[in-house]
Structure 1
């Protein structure tokens, strides 16, 4: 793979993230699509610089922390034992404990830590490292954490800190050694320890692409009604689709996959994963049962890796149309968009 092709893959990861987190609506992020990046670390540095600068203008997250201080006036609660100790030293001060908003939150610690990791990398352009240092200058008083022991499950999001969700995803990729594996001059999608994170990114990207570029379609992540009888056990799993596209009475349910090999070896040859096929069939059959007037089709969409060949298959079975397709993330983004547009045309 040539250097130019390497940059194609790197830039496409940016596009996936931009669509998945709807960052294309931010002008600063949109201009990154025209820039050149020397490495995936360089791309992460550019995104994190813009994200941190945007968050600084909005205001970094702050949380209350308990402080204890010797004071001449009362603030908050008086620490009686501490004050008596001062009196025994003949000091006319009061020990007070009070809460104060401070920027030293766990999310800000993760931001500062991962920005520091990027600054230390030689494959990040000098100007981006300088930009990151300027961003860190506004995070005085924020501690750092061990990047190998970040408690990602500890992160919580709500209406007032939703902007951190995108930034924490970038930090996750930085801390976990990125989504790229470097083999000589070859950049490929790597299998990181938490494959679910990459799968979620791919799923959100596909969903948001259709939602943004095809307003003529109804795009949903839908819970399909099982049509179960009254009194059915509560342990039955819910049927949540990754992407459901609808145009009038035509419905296409897409199940996205971004891990593992697509075709598995069996004695009779290579076959599609039975679990993946059963999953999409369950979605389609139950959706068709709940809305018999609709024409419901199903598709399993895989992110194409270097382990498999491209697939574009279609067949009829039990009264429904089925598809199995791969999305090649190693081509120019215009080619990725063209493949997704072809899928939209099937509805």
Structure 2
């Protein structure tokens, strides 16, 4: 999937169908000059459904579909025949899609399972025919109910990527390089900040045909929780990951300080994210000799206060097997 095709935010106007009118028909046939009421009910208006589809990874297919309207219900007929129901409309979305009311900002629901179906706009009820209003004192009612109007609303569809592991780090921490080495994903890689502008997903093949999904999130900068840089645009994608892999390059001025800034940005955005399992990867460790690595280990053991960490190099393929083993252990410890 090219970066331009990754769409994780769309606004759509949805409208359900209007219910059909009830009929005011009076029964007429040969030798029955004044039959009773036999008007049928109107059909219900079509619903608009949102359905989860595990085969979709993006909202790109909805990018140019701004208006989605369901069909109107048919009117009731004679002989108590009910009008046809309006045609339903189905909007398929990837798993992890949050549906919000654009006007109020209220979260209506979230789609997290394949085949999960939710009504976002309910069709109007069909009106009752005059047959329902007959009585001993009014044997030929000449009125029926009109159908109820459908719903109209503007909704926001917001995708939060579903992945097992989310990569968290500053721009140019080596996240895309690691993803390209561990998986068959081909993210854009360059030596300037914010090379990654959209999340990239890759499947890590593990032992015995097992696998897990890893997500490369655009780099965090200090102040991201307030919307600086790409801000909330990408922080929401980390909410779905069960394990967070923090990445700090070995040539950073202060590894502990960079790690603390990353953790603090997540805390300010959503404190619940700190409940996730965390692993710190010191990247680009091929630049360190054994002596420097030993010094760094002694320093980190004191400063990190029990946070697990490991040294890796995606370019030199150092520590990657151990990294996959550790991530698999963390994902399956429960």
TM-score normalised by the chain length of structure 1: 0.27
Q: Give 1 or 2 for the bigger CA radius of gyration.
A: 2
Structure with greater helix percent: 1
